[in-house]
A = this chain, B = another copy of it.
């Protein structure tokens, strides 16, 4: 089984698929799927409902919604607008579940995680660049001074990464939250996928926040309701694949080809005699140790990240203004 090779994905969808491919039903995990054929947008919901399910999936109990659109990595403006609206729709649903009734406007703090200087990790900072931030205006002049109608009061911060700040991102966020007391955190981050075909085509919205080890930059501390004190929605796009993932995936393919291919039947017979553990050892020793500090990313990542960050910030702006959904 693949997880032994330390294969990494930040997408609950891919974690789930892993079991499916092994024909295993995962107890305590529910999968729902909607497909809009015309617009080619697929929305998948993975609901981890029990601690057992959480343990199997390696992700906390909660709801992980994934919007997939193959054209999202292309410059087609139409699909970007549609995905922005889709994102806003689900975001409003999630927000309403998390902070049900409130007399005052919701105060939302958006966190642009990641490293502005490293292109595939710049998604979070770029998203905050295009947000309609309103908190300072509302504090000073009242709600009706904000440039557009809105039902959220919005603030935003780009905390930077540990190599630049010397601080855990969670420390910075905790401090800012204590001081400014938002009702809700929305953290934006670039993710690692397992399947390179998912890169830049997929948006995940999770009501569980960010867990240690996730994100391109690999956070060491959780950013969740438990650690921060307010609910945390995480929005992420996979922009990289860990180098180890791709290499060991391809080697998996090789081994299984050796075992099953007609033309290589002889090898298969021999390898078939080896246990999973023996094969795992074989692969592990062949992977170069310096691969651990590397990631793989598409060559046009600069344009793609710029476009996707705009799509997400538009989705957030729509959701915060409460405009566009009938």
Q: Cβ of A3 < 8 Å from any Cβ of B?
A: no
Complex-state Cα separation, A165 to B217, whole angstroms: 22
Distance in angstroms from A183 CB to nearest chain B CB is 14
Interface of A is mostly: helix
Q: Are A178 and B178 in contact (CB under 8 A)?
A: yes
Cβ A286 vs Cβ B270 within 8 A? no
Of B136, B241, B271, B274, the residue contacting A163 (CB under 8 A) is B136
Asked if A267 CB lies within 8 Å of chain B CBs, one says yes
Number of copies: 4
Interface 1/0 per residue, A156-200 and B, CB below 8 Å: 111110111111100110111111100000000000000011000
Q: Pick the contact of A282 from B119, B147, B264 — CB < 8 Å?
A: B264
On chain B, the residues within 8 Å of A76 by CB distance are 147
Q: 24 A-B Cβ contacts within 8 A? A: A75-B132, A117-B119, A118-B119, A133-B165, A134-B166, A136-B165, A157-B167, A163-B303, A171-B176, A172-B175, A175-B175, A175-B178, A176-B176, A196-B290, A217-B299, A241-B294, A243-B296, A250-B287, A257-B282, A257-B286, A264-B282, A266-B270, A267-B267, A296-B296
Residues of A at under 8 Å CB distance from B? 74-76, 115, 117-119, 128-129, 132-137, 147, 153-160, 162-168, 171-172, 174-180, 196-197, 216-217, 241, 243, 246-247, 250-251, 253-254, 257-258, 261, 263-264, 266-267, 269-271, 273-274, 278, 282-283, 285-288, 290-291, 293-303, 306
Instruction: Other than A172-B179, A246-B291, A266-B273, give 11 A-B pairs with Cβ distance below 8 A.
Output: A117-B303, A118-B119, A118-B299, A135-B167, A178-B179, A250-B250, A257-B286, A267-B267, A270-B270, A293-B300, A295-B297
